[in-house]
Every structure is written in C-alpha cells, then in structure tokens.
C-alpha cells in the first residue's frame, strides 16, 4: 500500500521563559511528521536545536529529501543508514514506530519487549534567575522527588545553595549547559558534595572535555552535549560516569535504545532527557526512561497548552499519555 508523508512546523508558547546558560526560550518550535498507509497514520515530533546547527527550515528540508525513501516503504533500520542523527530523523523514526504499532495492533512496548511505561519520577526544572528567585521557584517544587537546577558561571554557588535551602529533601541535578571551565569544575567539587548534588550534567563544552579522563569527580558527571549516538560511548566512558539520552540527539527511538544499551554495556549510568517539546516527543522517550537512573522529561510541563491527551505531571511524577496518543493501536 502506498505511503504518504507530511511534515509541518508547529509552535507551542511557553507559560514562562525557560532560561539556561545558552539563552532564553519563550516557545517550543517543533516539527510534526505524519506517515500514512491507507487510513492508518503514525505521528512523530522532532525539536530542531540551534546548538547542533539545526533549524526548523533545515529539518523540514532534510525530511523532504527523505520523502522518496519513506514513501517507497523504508523501515527504521534503512532510515538509520540514510539519514544522520538529529531532530528530522527523530520525527520520522518515531512516526514509523507509531505507524507500525497501529498497523500491527501491537503497542511499541510489545514491539520492544518491555512493559508499558507507567508513572515515574521526572525532574522538574528551576531555570536561571537571581538566587533568591531560584529559591522561591524551588520552594514551590520542594514536594517533588527530583529537581534539575540550571546554572551558569556567574553565581553557581549562590544559585545551588538557594535551591537546596528551599528544597532540602529533593534529589538535585545541576546543569551548567557547558558554561563552566575546568577551574570552576574543580572549585565546585566540595560544594556539590556539601549540597548533596546527585549528578552534574555537562559542565564544560563538548570538545573541551578531554581532561576529564584524568579527573576523579566527587559527584558523578553526566555527558549531554558530548553524546549523541551509541558510537560515542566507548570514548566518553573514559570521561563521564553517565550519559543523557535524548531522542532528538540520537535521531529517534531506535537509535536512543541502542545508545542506552551501549551505555549500560560500558558501565555508565543512564539519564533520559528532552528538549522543550510537546508530549508527542515525550511518549517515545518514556520507553528509554523506564530503563534509566534519572529522568528529565518535563518539556511539556513548560507549555501553555500541550497536545490533547499528553503526559501529566503529578507532583514530580510523570503520568503517561492517554491510551491511543502514541505507540498504541
């Protein structure tokens, strides 16, 4: 049966600005892909990320280049061989998973051979602001099991202390988004221990992390921007203690599952993260999240309005989408 492919740019306004060391976001710009066979359609979403040289326009162009391959019936493995990792391939790969689930009347969980995703703890984010404002934001989340603290190189000690004082019992992930250097990482070690930080995420720029091979951190360090696909893992296992798997970096659920397996085989901890996105990005990521030590999938929580039937935050616990939203018949 002939296939059809549609791709479009969708924008979701945020309920409040999302500030990290790299800049401020006020809306989530995503690519929505629909792949159809007859009356059955599969959906996928990708978030083009400027940090990796992506834009809405470049992602749509990449999808258009893949049109003939997809519409001729290519599967997920062929897609891996013909497109580079990134948001465009993520949207296509996830749409193919959803389409296969609906055509076969099997869930994606059944296809993978795992239980269906359920309620799981997922970090809630405190974005960069004045330390006092970050403390107030953390106080509102103090009931949650896990908080991710976005920091920069200007006042990280004050920012972390403010969050910890306001939320004394939660787990803490500190994420400088590549804004620190070696000197600051070394200087912050005792504070990270004192403030009971569970994980330090990508403190230095990707490509400037070779020195971590000879560094023994007091708190585990997680690669984010430094890791994209499974082939990256053997080298990074000498520098990091964990990796952050994001479907947009890996280029889809297929590649993300391979990255998660490679991380475990190399003795690394596992985190599942996301871009600021709708629940259509999060539904596939839940299949990696259930394998992870840390989960950070609060992207849709920042939206003024999510897609109908999407994930729900319940006090720092993420509830999966409604039946039939994605990956189920």
Catalytically active residues, by annotation: 150, 246
Contact yes or no for 30/47 (Cβ under 8 A) = yes
Contact yes or no for 203/209 (Cβ under 8 A) = no
Distances (CA, A) of 288 to 65, 108, 112, 194, 257: 28, 12, 11, 31, 6
- Residue 309: CB partners within 8 Å, gap ≥ 6? 279, 321, 322, 324, 325
Among candidate residues 32, 55, 58, 56, the one with its CA nearest the CA of residue 44: 32
Computed from CA positions of residues 310, 272, 265, 171, in that sequence, does the dihedral angle turn out positive or negative?
negative
The pair of three-digit structure tokens given for residue 317, joined into one six-digit string? 């616990």
Cα 170 from Cα 135, distance rounded (Å): 13
> What distance lies between CA 195 and its chain's CA centroid?
25
- Residue 57: CB partners within 8 Å, gap ≥ 6? none
């Amino acid at each position: 049966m002939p296939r059809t492919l549609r791709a479009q740019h969708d924008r979701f306004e945020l309920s409040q600005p999302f500030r990290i060391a790299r800049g401020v976001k006020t809306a989530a710009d995503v690519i929505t892909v629909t792949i159809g066979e007859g009356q059955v359609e599969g959906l996928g979403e990708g978030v083009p990320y400027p940090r990796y040289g992506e834009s809405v326009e470049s992602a749509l162009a990449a999808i258009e280049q893949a049109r003939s391959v997809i519409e001729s019936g290519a599967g997920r493995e062929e897609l891996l061989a013909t497109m580079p990792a990134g948001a465009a391939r993520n949207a296509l790969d996830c749409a193919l998973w959803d389409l296969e689930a609906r055509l076969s009347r099997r869930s994606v969980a059944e296809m993978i051979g795992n239980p269906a995703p359920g309620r799981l703890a997922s970090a809630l984010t405190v974005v960069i602001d004045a330390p006092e404002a970050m403390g107030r934001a953390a106080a509102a989340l103090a009931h949650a099991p896990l908080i991710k603290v976005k920091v920069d190189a200007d006042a990280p000690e004050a920012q972390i202390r403010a969050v910890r004082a306001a939320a004394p019992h939660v787990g803490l992930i500190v994420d400088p988004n590549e804004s620190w250097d070696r000197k600051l990482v070394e200087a912050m070690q005792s504070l990270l221990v004192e403030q009971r930080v569970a994980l330090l995420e990508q403190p230095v720029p990707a490509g400037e992390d070779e020195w971590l091979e000879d560094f023994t951190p007091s708190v585990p360090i997680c690669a984010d921007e430094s890791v994209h696909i499974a082939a990256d893992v053997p080298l990074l296992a000498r520098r990091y203690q964990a990796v952050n798997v994001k479907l947009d970096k890996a280029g889809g659920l297929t590649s993300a599952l391979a990255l998660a397996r490679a991380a475990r085989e190399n003795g690394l901890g596992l985190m599942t993260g996301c871009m600021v996105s709708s629940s259509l990005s999060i539904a596939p990521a839940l299949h990696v999240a259930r394998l992870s030590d840390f989960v950070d999938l609060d992207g849709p929580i920042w939206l003024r309005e999510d897609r109908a039937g999407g994930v729900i935050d319940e006090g720092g616990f993420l509830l999966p989408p409604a039946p039939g939203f994605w990956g189920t018949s």
